[in-house]
Amino acid sequence: MNKEVKRGFRDGIPIALGYFAVSFSLGITMVSAGLTAAEGTVMSLTNLTSAGEFAGVRVIAASGTILEMILTQLIINLRYSLMSLSLSQKIDPKARFWHKLVIAFGNTDEIFAVAMNHQKSLTIKYMAALQCLPVIGWTSGTFLGIVACNLLPERLSIALNVMLYGMFIAIVVPVAKKSKPVLAVCVAAISLSCLFRYVPGLNTISEGLAITVCTVAAAVFGAIVFPVKQEEKQEDET
Distance of alpha carbon 168 from alpha carbon 40, whole angstroms? 21
Predicted pLDDT of residue 234? 47
Predicted confidence (pLDDT) per residue in 152-161, tens digit: 776 766 666 6
Its sign, for the CA torsion 157, 35, 54, 210, is: negative
Phi/psi of residue 199, nearest 5 degrees: -80, 125
pLDDT at 133 over 70: yes
pLDDT digits (tens, 9 = 90+) for 63-84: 888 888 888 888 778 778 877 8
Query: Looking at residue 78, what is its pLDDT?
Result: 78
Count the residues in the chain. 238
pTM: 0.69
Conformation bin of residue 201: beta by default, left when phi > 0, alpha when psi is -120 to 50 = left
Q: Which residues of 19-50 are buried (b: 16+ CB within 10 A; e: fewer)?
A: bbebbbbbbbbbbebebebeebbebbeebbbb
Residue 236's pLDDT is 46
Quick check: 117 pLDDT over 90?
no
What distance in Å separates the CA atoms of residue 9 and residue 125, rounded to the nearest whole number? 10
* 122, 111 contact by CB (below 8 A): no
Grouping H, G, I as helix, E, B as strand and the rest as coil, residue 95 is coil
End-to-end CA distance of the chain: 37
Sequence-ordered list of residues with C-beta below 8 angstroms from that of 11, at least 6 positions apart, any chain? 114, 118, 130
**What does residue 122 show for φ and ψ, rounded to 5 degrees?**
-85, 110
Q: Which stretch of DSSP H or E encloses residue 23?
A: helix 3-32
Q: How far apart are CA 165 and CA 58, in angstroms?
A: 13
Amino acid letter, 69: M
Q: Which amino acid is at 85?
A: L
> Residue 238: its pLDDT value, please?
45
Give the span between the Cα atoms of 95 and 122, in whole angstroms. 9
Contact status, residue 39 vs residue 150, Cβ threshold 8 Å: no
Residue 157 confidence (pLDDT): 64
Among 32, 78, 31, 72, CA closest to 53:
72
What pLDDT score was predicted for residue 43?
93
DSSP code for 93: T
Residue 49 vs residue 170, higher pLDDT: 49
Mean pLDDT of the chain: 82
